[in-house]
A = this chain, B = another copy of it.
């Protein structure tokens, strides 16, 4: 289940940075910040020491449940900044006690029964890419069992007539695409975690993926769900649409493992795109690029890609000079040429101050920027692998806000984050891009970076993260557009969601999980 995954870096063990790469990164960083930096040594997995498991695995579960040190360590964290720091330093004060990887719903039920009978926390685990403390054990439980779904990782059924597939929850992104491809189909859900995240994880966290406009979140593609709860199996009917009561699938989407463990889903798939049009348009300012993006999305052209990079992002991620913002546009279709809608979008961009595009002299530059941005997007987590242990505070957060509030929102969030960075690190950088766009508002994605003190990263990060989150919530945004709530976003989520909704959700959880073993502390107070 985790044979080749790195214990500390994003990706596989074979993708871990070498000692040399870590030293080079340290030199680059030292030069950039004009400081001396002690290069970090990559952690050794052989030195990890964990508290002895508090749970004794029943014989009936032994065939698929492990208490091995490496497996327990791997399943004790996700991939948040805090997780990365703790993993890099081999710090596991509160590890899971066992890792169960059930191979079917019966085995999964048996695991939940075990947890219910002992009062152990059951922590659903897909690919372990949570950046919000969604797979980490809570404090003060008598035991914690990670429920790894990777042994339920098959594409079970395809329906080319309805363009749909029945897929087990533990199936990773690449396996889904591999199985669909021979049929000319694709799910086209490509979060940054694509390679190391699963369908079940996407649904449980309302992941957003490839599509920048129109249907963006995974639940827009979910037709039905099976979920094993401590009270039995929840199975919704596979339907293209319905108006019968509240949508049961929307009770599951975003439930983050507090109601049960998703085991499979019918999802809508697409014919693979063969007609594509993409372009990059430069703007004198982020504000102008945002205005253009608003006009495009409100025209309902529904581009697959419509990302806006502020001046800093465009420089870092797309090789531009730091004075201009970039709008990345992409249209796609299996059958229909996309030059028409692209031309309309480019016209709108030009009317809104866009300076170069595919029709102008700057075309090559715009196109290059698109390609660079794509590569940068996929490589980012691996770059970050090399920056661990150097005291660098670097993280991202994402939100969504209505257009009428956007400008002031951005000012406040940016200022609050930058002020915190200055307090904590003496300065730093805050950049922003739009990852997803709605007719009524953008989903801004912020990246912040500052050089902190080696060994104090977690406290320093926490101060910046809190300042940013506070600004997001007090300025009218959501604490997360697609990274989920987990444990880390709880203080701000508690202010965002309706109190009565929390009460209703708590009651629904109690009905499905009477003992309260499912991911306690995630989303709501147990």
Contact = CB atoms under 8 A, between A and B. Distances in A.
B163 A440 contact: yes
A298 B162 CA distance: 9
Interface string A152-189: 00000001011110000000000000000000000000
Contacts of A302: 302
A231 B440 contact: no
A481 B159 contact: no
Contact of A403 (B162, B270, B301, B484): B162
Given A478-B244, A489-B244, A162 B508 contact: no
A52 interface: no
Best-buried of A246, A256, A340 by chain B (most CB within 10 Å): A246
Interface string A468-484: 00000000111111111
B336 A301 contact: yes
A402 B239 contact: yes
Interface string A414-445: 00000000000000000000001011111100
A498 B159 CA distance: 23
Nearest to A473: B237
A242 B481 contact: yes
A70 interface: no
A504 interface: yes
Best-buried of A217, A401, A477, A503 by chain B (most CB within 10 Å): A503
A243 B484 contact: yes
Given A439-B268, A496-B244, A239 B477 contact: yes
B239 A478 contact: yes
Contact of A442 (B223, B240, B443, B479): B240
A62 interface: no
A259 B149 CA distance: 35
B493 A244 contact: yes
B478 A242 contact: yes
Contact of A335 (B245, B299, B523): B299
B508 A237 contact: no
Contacts of A236: 497-498, 501
Given A164-B440, A234-B498, A511-B506, A246 B241 contact: no
Given A234-B500, A268-B439, A501-B236, A480 B243 contact: yes
A238 interface: yes
A271 B440 CA distance: 12
A253 B244 contact: no
A246 B252 CA distance: 7
Contacts of A499: 232
Contacts of A161: 402-404
Contacts of A484: 243-244
B498 A235 contact: yes
Interface in A360-408: 400-404
A255 interface: yes
A244 B479 contact: yes
Interface stretch (A31-39, A80-88, A205-213, A280-288): A205-213
A124 interface: no
Given A239-B400, A254-B245, A477-B239, A500 B232 contact: yes
Contact of A481 (B243, B255, B259, B481): B243
B436 A241 contact: yes
A447 interface: no
Contacts of A442: 240
A277 interface: no
Given A242-B400, A244-B480, 16 more contacts: A236-B501, A237-B476, A239-B400, A240-B401, A240-B402, A240-B439, A240-B443, A242-B481, A244-B478, A245-B523, A246-B251, A246-B252, A247-B254, A248-B497, A250-B251, A259-B504
16 contacts: A161-B403, A162-B404, A206-B247, A208-B241, A232-B499, A234-B501, A240-B439, A241-B481, A242-B400, A242-B480, A243-B480, A244-B478, A244-B489, A246-B254, A268-B439, A299-B334
5 A-B pairs closest in CB distance:
A240-B441, A504-B508, A250-B250, A240-B438, A507-B511
